[in-house]
Amino acid sequence: MCLKGYLGIDLGSVSSNFVFTDERGDVAEAIYLRTRGRPLEALAEGLAKLATALHDQPVVAGVGTTGSGRLLAGLVVGADVVKNEITAHAAATARLVPGTRTILEIGGQDSKIIVLRGGTVVDFAMNTVCAAGTGSFLDQQAARLNIPIEEFGEIALQASVPVRIAGRCAVFAETDMIHKQQMGYGLPDILAGLCEALVRNYLNNLAKGKDIRDTVVFQGGVAANAGMRRAFEKVLTCEVRVPPYHSVMGALGAALLARDQTGRKPQSSFKGFGLAELDFRTGCFNCNGCANQCEVVEITQSSTVLARWGDRCGKWSQAPLVAGA
């Protein structure tokens, strides 16, 4: 008997995440991939791996997409629901950790804080400007120190006295770490100090003025770093919970939202798992029609334009599409 359920896709700049849930909303399979600057290839690879992991192509009752590439993913796969990351993360957290009132989320390139009351988002903030504290910055520092990123947090937990690291900027943080190494501080104390600096930076930039209350949930790829979790607990003076599937919460939320909103539809718009067999291409061009100089994204399939977006006035995104145009 074929599995029937809901597909969620979180297409981001660093990772592409896929979750398939059964009809109850329980996770049947989760896939985490690096996007590597090739979102369409990541989509095709993720769908193929998901179908293989489920041993057969399941019956897809609904598809939801989220992440920075949600429009692209939604168009290519035939999504029934396209939602922003805030909504998707909140939906997944409410499912896995009922009663959550604060979500701390740190991904590969950005971070966000979401405040919930009674399962409803009442406040949030996002940071996409500074890399300090994100997964990519921690990956970079682990590589510079010649330690596996998987061991970063465990080494930080061995610290006796975390050193004070300047964490308001990625460049300054790295410079300060090098200085502390040259002064002879131990690696665990430096890593723990970096975790505490990045947590201070996160709270000062994103959580300023926010009403942070227990239950607090930490998610995103960086939540796997035990040193960052301890640093948050030290500052917030409360338990910080890391839920299962913390690295694919956006995709899980997208699947749950698809389940909630497509239950009455006779059939999903999903185009199938064989995305690699289709000739999708993306490109962009500058519109010189006015002073805005908009960069317009264009997606085609076999030379047929499927969609355009990125313009402010709608000249391209709302224009009728012609085959071969």
> What CATH number is attached to the domain comprising 143?
3.30.420.40
Q: What integer is the mean pLDDT of 286-304?
A: 83
* Nearest-angstrom CA–CA distance, 322 and 325: 5
Count: domains in the chain: 3
Host domain of residue 64: 4-89+250-276
- Nearest Cα neighbor of 233 from 216, 250, 219 is 216
Please enumerate in sequence order all residues whose Cβ is within 8 A of that of 172, keeping only pairs 6 or more positions apart, or say none.
Answer: 166
Cβ proximity of 10 and 63 under 8 Å? no
Do 135 and 227 sit in the same domain of this protein?
yes
DSSP three-state, residue 143? helix
Do 138 and 37 sit in the same domain of this protein?
no
Q: What pLDDT was estimated at residue 264?
A: 63
More confident residue, 309 or 39: 39
pLDDT cut 90: percent of the chain above it: 41
| Lowest-confidence segment of 28-32, 66-70, 82-86, 94-98 by average pLDDT | 66-70
Do 114 and 151 sit in the same domain of this protein?
yes
Q: What pLDDT was estimated at residue 234?
A: 94
Single pTM value for the model = 0.84
Do 228 and 110 sit in the same domain of this protein?
yes
Pairing of strands 240-241, 15-22: unpaired
pLDDT tens string 152-204: 999 999 998 898 887 666 667 778 888 888 888 899 999 999 889 888 888 88
Q: What pLDDT was estimated at residue 134?
A: 74
Mean pLDDT of the chain: 86
CA distances to 50, 155, 202, 213 from 130, rounded to whole Å, are 33, 25, 10, 25
Q: What integer is the mean pLDDT of 21-32?
A: 94
Do 120 and 170 sit in the same domain of this protein?
yes
Do 235 and 324 sit in the same domain of this protein?
no
Q: What integer is the mean pLDDT of 211-235?
A: 93
